Amino acid sequence: MFQDEETERFFQVVHLFQRTAMVNLGLIEHPEGGPRFNFQEAKEAIDILRMLKNKTEGNLDTSARTMLDGVVSELQMQFMNAPKRKKAMDEDMANMENVRQTFNNPRTAPVEDITSEE
């Protein structure tokens, strides 16, 4: 797929920073388990990829340039969507905790009134 070994190594570096950003955006599981969000670390990884993109301008073939542009663009879009995704995940976790409390201790757990006014 790559034209030479150096290009392959270059994209190993790109992939390293791509995975770092994805882990810190909660897109792939953290090595210690579950999704994690660290927006500052994700931003740093994306900034490094943008710097690599700028520094390699004119030195990559068309397919390599397209691949790098795509990685940077996708990560930037995911970075913009990450706060909404984190909020939704946090809300889901809170709802799951309410359900767990209901089953573990129904007398003191949160309840929902489903009686009608009729």
Q: Provide the pLDDT for residue 109.
A: 64
Structural domains counted in the chain: 1
Asked if residue 118 is part of any domain, the answer here is no
Q: Provide the pLDDT for residue 1.
A: 67
Q: How far apart are CA 42 and CA 79, in angstroms?
A: 8
24 close to 41: Cβ distance less than 8 angstroms: yes
Q: Is-above-0.85 flag for pTM?
A: no
Asked if residue 113 is part of any domain, the answer here is no
The domain in which residue 66 lies consists of: 5-104
Query: Which bin fits 2, alpha (ψ -120 to 50), beta or left (φ > 0)?
Result: beta
Provide the Cα torsion 99, 103, 104, 108; round to 10°.
80
Asked if residue 9 is part of any domain, the answer here is yes
Q: How far apart are CA 37 and CA 47, in angstroms?
A: 17
Q: Which residues of the chain have pLDDT under 50?
A: none
